[in-house]
Amino acid sequence: MVVKKSARTVYRYILFDYLSQSGKRADELQRELNQVMQQMYGMVGAPHLKLISFSKGRGIVRCGRSQFVQARRAFALYINPTYRIRQVRSSGTLKGLREGL
pLDDT tens profile 14-69: 999 888 777 778 888 888 888 888 888 888 888 888 889 888 888 899 998 888 99
CATH fold, domain 14-92, is Alpha-Beta Plaits (3.30.70)
pTM for the whole thing? 0.82
26 within 8 A of 51, measured Cβ to Cβ: yes
**pLDDT surpasses 70 at 101:** no
Neighbouring residues of 45: CB distance < 8 A, sequence distance ≥ 6: 70
